[in-house]
Structure 1
Amino acid sequence: MIRRLLQFLKNNKLHSAGALLLGVATILTGIGLMSSSGFLISRAAQRPMLVDLFVVTAAVRFFGISRAVVRYFERVVSHELTFNILSSMRSLLFKKLDSLSLKWLMGRRSGDLLARLVADIDTLQNVYLRIISPSIVAVLITAVTCVALWFFDPVLSLAALFFFIVSGIALPVLAVRMSKGTGKKDVELKAGFKTYLIDRIHGMQELLWLGQKKNTQNEVNMMQAELDAQHHKDAGGTGLLEGLHSLLANLGMFSVLILAVPLVLTGQIPGVMLAMLTLGVLSSFEAVQNLGNAFQQYETSKEASNRFFSVTESRQVIAEPEKPKHLADWDNIGFQRVSFSYETENITLSDVSFEIPRLSKTAIVGPTGSGKSTLVSLLLRFWDPKSGQILIGGTDIRNLEADKLRSLFAVVSQDAYIFNRTLRENLLIAKPTASDDELVEVLTKVGLNAFASDLNLNLGNFGTRLSGGERRLVALARALLKDAPIWIFDEPTANLDVKTERKILDAIRATTGQRTMIMITHRLVDMDKMDQIIVMNRGQIVEKGSHAKLLDGQSFYAKMVGYQRVFR
């Protein structure tokens, strides 16, 4: 774990060095304050002239002030280092999630991904703030303290070293053993709790009308009780480790005191230095004070690290071409013998071939589950086909950079996501540089005139302040802002009433302009306005042609039209 996390320090070498130096300086000023205070007390007991105490009094003041100043800057630099590292980790994780294939993302719960992005990375701050930096500082302070004591007497140095080793190594080892098995459980409990709460909040309406409010409350209370029990157990271990450290620090001080007394009596050490030595040794144990508690969280941090790297090191990505081709212009879109399956045993698309001419209007129709939406996912390279090619202007899309490929498309789907932000922010996603005048213009074009005067309206979670039809029109406004040459409509009128459906179809027809349009639908409305219709069933193309041609005879398409006329 430590080795993999250290890679994030490479871009923060200056902050890392500064944090270590300031950490060492903080402990040394503390030692200086306690040592000079002990010397001052002992020297003052001899009733010297006040002028003889001037230097040591100044030293006490210097160390007292400098300790506060150095501690402040140590906190600032170490926390800035930590925040930079956590920011880099979150950025890396988000970029990785963006590059992962839909196959990897399918089945992952949004709450669990959120826990990895927030809670797990927050947990890893303990590695930098409480394990790596303090461990290095502890080694340096131990070395400085033992070397300083060696000049007085090697026995004092060895005695202090013994207690440093016990407190700085034995206690962390004990802490790791005490927490064995609890770290993974702690991370899993927290992640599971967050995931559960997010799922229940999203499904709050269903829980209420299904009468599951009490059951949900009971489950939340049970999960919270389990977390509390885990935290109480951790708190008990923390208390024990803190007590043992205090005991060892005081034993170390008393050992040095007892060993130093004979040296004072024989005149090897001046008597005024006895308090200085003992208090200096006691304050030096601040360097190892929190190592036990820090390593108590080692397994928790390790599990959080494993969850983080399980995403960032995943290889299930849409591979970018080593030498991407530049698509200066394009003509037709072509599928050539494309086959694809989400699962090995279930074929979703089988040997699909068709061509969409530039600036044409193409409808891809068929019953639910026939593979229509899968074509869109393949065209946008959210997945790659198992066999065959998808071409734009004669270039295989796998030879194009994914971002540049997707910049050619604007997609309006039935489940277009509306963020819990203002209307302005939801539109600026498509074009961040758009002015308010442009936003008003596109809202007017798609028929949302009533909202054009209130761009600061918060649309609520999932766009709850909008009707189903209004959410589709906001998505259409985004497409207009993006101004891509290819528009894809994936079931844009699904689950809408006839009046709203007509409003949206009219808006689409009025705004499409000189663009290539692909309409994915099972609603056979305005099909006579399409240049070609591709009919799919069970992952295969069963028919192709114009509306008039396909209605002639007993075609599959004709039967679909007949069914919709009967049940409409």
Structure 2
Amino acid sequence: MRRVWRVMAAEGGMGRALALAALVLLAGWGLLALSGWFIAATAIAGLAGAGAVFDVFRPAASVRGLALLRTAARYGERMLGHDATLRAVAGLRGAVLAGLAAEPWSRLQKLRRGPALARVVADTDALDGLPLRLVLPGIAGLAVLALAAGLIGWLAGWQMAVWVCGAHLLAALAAGAWGLRRSSGLARAAAAAERDFSSHALDLVAARDDLAMHGRLPAQRALAMAAEARAAGLAGALDAAERDVALMLDLARIAAMAGSLGLGAAGIEAGLFGPAIAALSFFAAMALGEVVAPLCRAVADWGRIGDAADRVAPMLGRAMPAPAAAVPALPLQVGEVVLGPGQILGLCGPSGSGKSTLLAQIAGLVPPGDTAIALAGRPVSDWTEAALRAVLVMVPQRSALIAGTLRENLALAAPDADDDALHEILRAMRLDRLRGGLDLRLGDGGAGLSGGEARRLALARALLRKTPILLLDEPTEGLDEGTARQVMAEILQRSRDVALVIASHRPSDLKQAAFIRSFV
């Protein structure tokens, strides 16, 4: 949690939020304590016949001032506290994304879909409770307890201060230790059940058609409902633990109030202070219950936040890989074949024979096998991730398109390209007649395009990179023969200075290849 907090606090604003949170608690405590003193002092003055000379204006104005201050501070605390928290969570998300970007490709592939991705998102969202429910209320509460102890000790003596503030502090520590031990495991289990429900619900939405086709829709719905029921049961157990902690704190407040009455009576009898100060101490003991009340919510959230922090913290502190400058990458050696600029290696063979695996090995996505692979004389395993991506681009059979416009999808490869260049590459890939042009908006995963159109958009994006090595896996799959020939001709025209490796079942894609490697 300390590591996560350092990242979140670095976004700024927490100091102002903390000051306002403490001011809210202090104003509320002072309002009730001063009101109790004012009522008692006014009654005593009236009984003593001094009501006509008793100054009611300044205490009354102070009561009104504290009420207004509490309201204004509460508004500011809500506004600035949530603003600081939102900025902190945004900073945390950036740090998590930077950490994920530094992960090996094999781990990133697992995070693209399903429970792993849902867990990362849920963990980051759960950590907004770290400042709002743990850090800010805890520090503000301790500060107010210390100030209250000093004021009560000055007015009514240290015995009263120790009893009133000590009772609340000890009760908070005891209830917190007991409640955290009880709720930590429950909160972690509840968070896991909620993640399971989110995962099953996402599967229901994303794979509904496939599940229905195979008759698995009722079973998947039952899994989601079972996870939801499990989460609801654990949430009920957490609520029970929260209520038990609240009961312990209320009993401590009653004990503090009762003790303040006893000490107040003894102090009045001993002539240490008057009845008004005794009343102030009693109402101060009552008001301090508000200071420790956030502990109830903290107990319920501690396990969830700690569980999320345990998984998020290892992702932090890793720098986002900086784009590497292009370095000489040719010739490309693949086994006995050495490719220079403008040369093509064709890979042919039946499905499952290893063509895609060899392309992934050249791209550094999987460890090299028995085939020697080197770029500019250096084994591919010696290249850093950033350096390899700067000189090589691969179009797999299933390319990832993002939800957004065609322009935004192409900008992933060439952020600085102008619209003329983008229109030209769309024309080359026979995508210039799409409705909406560059402003055509796609859904998740490129929804809105046919399979062939999505493939050509991925090819257009790869050609915009202009890297010295281009790897294509079934580049014309899903295209009719005429469109396939036109698209392949454009690829070859734009790859005269590129070492090209093509895996394809279509003979026309490989007829220009200088080298052919067959798989069986």
Q: Distance in 2 between matches of 1:396 and 1:443?
A: 35
The reply to whether residue 280 of structure 1 matches residue 284 of structure 2 is: yes
Instruction: Map 1:76-155 to 2 at 5 A.
Output: 76-105=79-108, 110-151=113-154, 152-155=156-159
The counterpart of 2:70, out of the listed 47, 67, 71, is 67
Determine the structure 2 residue equivalent to 1:545.
none
Instruction: Map 1:521-560 to 2 at 5 A.
Output: 521-537=504-520
What's the CA shift for 1:362? 2.1
Q: Distance in 1 between matches of 2:122 and 2:161?
A: 43
Q: Distance in 1 between matches of 2:8 and 2:459?
A: 45
The counterpart of 1:227, out of the listed 221, 231, 245, is 231
What's the CA shift for 1:130? 1.7
Between the two proteins, what is the percent identity of the paired residues? 25
Determine the structure 1 residue equivalent to 2:360.
377
TM-score by length of 1: 0.81
CA contact (8 A) 2:163 2:256 kept: yes
Q: Distance in 1 between matches of 2:169 and 2:500?
A: 73
CA contact (8 A) 2:194 2:227 kept: no
Q: Distance in 2 between matches of 1:326 and 1:285?
A: 61
> Once structures 1 and 2 are overlaid, which stretch shifts more, 78-87 or 387-396?
387-396
The reply to whether residue 19 of structure 1 matches residue 17 of structure 2 is: yes
Q: Distance in 1 between matches of 2:166 and 2:124?
A: 36
The counterpart of 1:391, out of the listed 353, 371, 374, is 374
What's the CA shift for 1:472? 0.8
Q: Distance in 2 between matches of 1:326 and 1:500?
A: 35
Q: Distance in 2 between matches of 1:456 and 1:427?
A: 11
What's the CA shift for 1:115? 2.6
Residue ranges of structure 1 left out of the alignment (5+ in a row): 336-351, 538-568
Residue ranges of structure 2 left out of the alignment (5+ in a row): none
Instruction: Map 1:259-408 to 2 at 5 A.
Output: 259-309=263-313, 328-335=327-334, 352-385=335-368, 390-396=373-379, 401-408=384-391
Determine the structure 2 residue equivalent to 1:548.
none
What's the CA shift for 1:7? 3.3
What's the CA shift for 1:252? 1.6
Higher relative contact order (CA 8 A, sep 6+): 2
Q: Distance in 1 between matches of 2:296 and 2:257?
A: 19
Give the secondary structure class of the aligned counterpart of 1:24: helix
Instruction: Map 1:175-190 to 2 at 5 A.
Output: 175-190=179-194
What's the CA shift for 1:443? 1.6
What's the CA shift for 1:510? 5.0
Q: Distance in 2 between matches of 1:304 and 1:9?
A: 14
Q: Distance in 1 between matches of 2:370 and 2:84?
A: 48
Which residue identity lines up with residue 412 of structure 2 in the other structure? I
CA contact (8 A) 1:443 1:449 kept: yes
Give the secondary structure class of the aligned counterpart of 2:273: coil
Give the secondary structure class of the aligned counterpart of 2:438: coil
Give the secondary structure class of the aligned counterpart of 1:181: helix
Give the secondary structure class of the aligned counterpart of 1:449: coil
Kindly provide the CA deviation profile for residues 118-139 of structure 1, in whole angstroms up to 9, marking residues without a partner as x.
2112222223222233222222
CA contact (8 A) 2:391 2:469 kept: yes
Which residue identity lines up with residue 288 of structure 2 in the other structure? S
What's the CA shift for 1:374? 3.0
> Once structures 1 and 2 are overlaid, which stretch shifts more, 62-71 or 384-393?
384-393
What's the CA shift for 1:390? 4.3
Q: Distance in 1 between matches of 2:88 and 2:210?
A: 41
Determine the structure 2 residue equivalent to 1:455.
438
What's the CA shift for 1:177? 2.7
What's the CA shift for 1:503? 5.1
Q: Distance in 2 between matches of 1:38 and 1:77?
A: 31
Give the secondary structure class of the aligned counterpart of 1:518: strand
The counterpart of 2:474, out of the listed 491, 495, 506, is 491
Give the secondary structure class of the aligned counterpart of 1:364: strand
Structure 1 residues 297 and 208: alpha-carbon distance in aligned structure 2, compared to 1, 3 A threshold: same
Q: Distance in 2 between matches of 1:201 and 1:167?
A: 47
> Once structures 1 and 2 are overlaid, which stretch shifts more, 485-494 or 396-405?
396-405
Structure 1 residues 11 and 239: alpha-carbon distance in aligned structure 2, compared to 1, 3 A threshold: same
Q: Distance in 2 between matches of 1:389 and 1:246?
A: 73
The counterpart of 1:200, out of the listed 182, 201, 204, is 204
Structure 1 residues 107 and 428: alpha-carbon distance in aligned structure 2, compared to 1, 3 A threshold: closer
The reply to whether residue 33 of structure 1 matches residue 31 of structure 2 is: yes
The reply to whether residue 160 of structure 1 matches residue 164 of structure 2 is: yes
TM-score by length of 2: 0.88
CA contact (8 A) 2:242 2:299 kept: no
CA contact (8 A) 1:325 1:399 kept: no
Structure 1 residues 287 and 155: alpha-carbon distance in aligned structure 2, compared to 1, 3 A threshold: same
Structure 1 residues 311 and 69: alpha-carbon distance in aligned structure 2, compared to 1, 3 A threshold: same
Which residue identity lines up with residue 104 of structure 1 in the other structure? R
Q: Distance in 2 between matches of 1:31 and 1:225?
A: 41
Determine the structure 2 residue equivalent to 1:420.
403
